[in-house]
């Protein structure tokens, strides 16, 4: 890879997933506010956020390969981002209980020449019915508060999940197989570009 990779995310989960590819990378948070626009579809919101995060970091790291992602949980076309507080997290978990929801992760890549590429991965997750006591115990753990949909598949909430259709790494925050293919494509394109 001629341009070192920059992960435009402060997420420890994305960092751990990307490390599985064995590529050297640097982590730089974009620190953008994540607010949907009025009437914005969940898919469009995730894609816009991933692109904006990548662009914000690319401004500071020109000539580098920038990778950004945004994950959202969608139930009945309602967007569940990171909860604002305990009440919001409780509301989300109650809504997800006994239901199937979608997890969308948009990934944006800006190459060394400033060109954009992106992808959108979708997984479907079915929760078993949750008791009020289970929800409160999970909220007490503190895991819910920095995750879309107020849960993390890689943590204690795994016990809530009846099944996952699609990429589990997508649910955690980075669809690693799709990201690997995206990076291979760009690394190959860079290698084929004459100096």
**Alpha-carbon distance 35 to 37, whole Å?**
7
Report yes or no: 54 and 122 within 8 Å, Cβ to Cβ: no
Residues 70, 111, 117, 140: which is the catalytic one? Answer: 70
For residue 46, give every residue at least 6 positions away whose Cβ sits within 8 Å of its Cβ, in sequence order, or none.
70, 71, 72, 104, 105, 106, 120
By three-state DSSP, how is residue 113 classified? coil
b/e map of 140-156 (b: 16 or more CB within 10 Å)? eeebbeebbbbbbbbee
For this structure, is 87 an active site residue? no
- Cα of 46 vs its chain's centroid, Å: 8
Report yes or no: 54 and 108 within 8 Å, Cβ to Cβ: yes
b/e map of 66-105 (b: 16 or more CB within 10 Å)? bbbbbbbbbbeeebbbbbeeeebbbebbebbbeeebbbbb
> Active-site residues: which are they?
70
């Amino acid at each position: 890879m001629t341009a070192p990779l920059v992960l435009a995310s402060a997420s420890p989960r994305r960092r751990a997933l990307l490390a599985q590819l064995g590529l050297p990378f640097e982590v730089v948070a974009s620190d953008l506010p994540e607010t949907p626009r009025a009437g914005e579809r969940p898919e469009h919101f995730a894609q816009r956020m991933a692109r904006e995060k990548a662009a914000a970091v690319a401004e500071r790291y020109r000539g580098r390969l920038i990778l950004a992602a945004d994950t959202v949980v969608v139930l009945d076309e309602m967007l569940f981002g990171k909860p604002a507080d305990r009440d919001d997290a409780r509301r989300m978990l109650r809504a997800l209980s006994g239901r199937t929801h979608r997890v969308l992760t948009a990934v944006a890549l800006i190459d060394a020449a400033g060109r954009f590429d992106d992808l959108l991965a979708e997984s479907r997750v079915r929760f078993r019915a949750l008791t009020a006591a289970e929800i409160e115990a999970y909220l007490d753990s503190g895991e819910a508060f920095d995750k879309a949909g107020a849960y993390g598949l890689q943590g204690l909430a795994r016990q809530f999940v009846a099944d996952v259709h699609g990429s589990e790494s997508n649910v955690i925050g980075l669809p690693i197989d799709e990201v690997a293919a995206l990076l291979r494509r760009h690394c190959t394109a860079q290698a084929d570009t004459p100096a």
